[in-house]
Amino acid sequence: MIAIAKSFEKTPAVELKEEKIEPKKGKQIGILGGTFNPVHTAHLIVGEQVLSKLHLDEIWFIPTNIPPLKDAPVVSAQDRANMLELATQDNPHFQVKMFELTRGGVSYTVDTLRYLHELHPENQYFLIMGSDQVNNFQQWKEPTKIAQLATLVGVKRAGYPQSAELPMIWVDVPGLDVSSTSIRQTIAMGGSIRYLVPDSVRNYIQKKGLYHE
């Protein structure tokens, strides 16, 4: 038998390079939650002032589905969300997020923050609270965990002492004695809410006949 020799070209070695994965760049997000029943000018001013003074990238307005420490809203979640969209549409740094309305049930801030860290772990979150909320913060579900998941931001409000039990950044905001409760009462009595809410929100309330009962 005749052996037939085969020659093989030497295959050059392939240089394996480690693939460099760039970390996803995160944002600094202010979280402003509430029933927004209805949204008013003080909400918007707080959002803008915190955005500016803390140099945040965005403010996320998150309407509550069922608040754990308040009575249930008297208008539908859809109406409250629509008014928020109208009120924030002209500010590119404001966004309305429906996480809590979509989830349903009682809205706990700690659950929302956990979800946000799962959804966008690259972001840093700043939870914005008025002085009245700061004073009852220990009644919230897992307040210590909330403080681990977000930087706490307190907005000074006249008539409420600043008595935070956890580390907090305090922000001065021009005083506006406006509340959703007083707006609802004004509407029910047939009074004017012009300049207390954006015109788009006022027109929506009038068109839908909200808060008249």
Answer for the pair 144, 128: CB distance below 8 angstroms, yes or no: no
pLDDT given for residue 73 in this prediction:
79
pLDDT given for residue 171 in this prediction:
93
**Is the pLDDT at 178 greater than 70, yes or no?**
yes
Least confident window among 28-37, 137-146, 149-158: 149-158
Sequential DSSP letters for the chain? -PPPP---PPPPPPPP-PPPPPPPPP-EEEEEEE--TT--HHHHHHHHHHHHHTT-SEEEEEE-SB-SSSPPPSS-HHHHHHHHHHHHTT-TTEEE--HHHHH-SB--HHHHHHHHHHH-TT-EEEEEEEHHHHHTGGGSSSHHHHHHHSEEEEEP-TT-----SS--EEE--------HHHHHHHHHTT---BTTB-HHHHHHHHHHTTT--
204 located within any domain: no
pLDDT given for residue 2 in this prediction:
44
Helix axes 199-208, 77-88, angle to 10 degrees: 150
99 located within any domain: yes
pLDDT given for residue 159 in this prediction:
65
What CATH code is carried by the domain that includes residue 86? 3.40.50.620
**Is the pLDDT at 14 greater than 60, yes or no?**
no
Number of domains comprising the chain: 1
48 located within any domain: yes
Tokens for 202? 């006022």
pLDDT given for residue 160 in this prediction:
65
77 located within any domain: yes
Helix axes 77-88, 41-53, angle to 10 degrees: 50
Provide the residue range defining the domain that includes 143.
28-175
Mean residue pLDDT across the chain: 88
**Is the pLDDT at 8 greater than 60, yes or no?**
no
67 located within any domain: yes
**Digit-coded pLDDT (tens) for 41-50:** 999 999 999 9
Average pLDDT over residues 145-163: 85
Tell me the percentage of the chain whose pLDDT exceeds 90.
72
pLDDT given for residue 1 in this prediction:
44
Answer for the pair 27, 51: CB distance below 8 angstroms, yes or no: no
Average pLDDT over residues 36-57: 97
Is the model more confident about 37 or about 70? 37
Q: How many CA atoms lie within 13 A of 185 on its CB side?
A: 5
20 located within any domain: no
**Confidence category of residue 4, pLDDT binned at 50, 70, 90:** very low
23 located within any domain: no
**Confidence category of residue 133, pLDDT binned at 50, 70, 90:** confident
35 located within any domain: yes
**Is the pLDDT at 188 greater than 90, yes or no?**
yes
Is the model more confident about 12 or about 147? 147
* Closest-CA residue to 57 (of 94, 103, 3, 101): 94
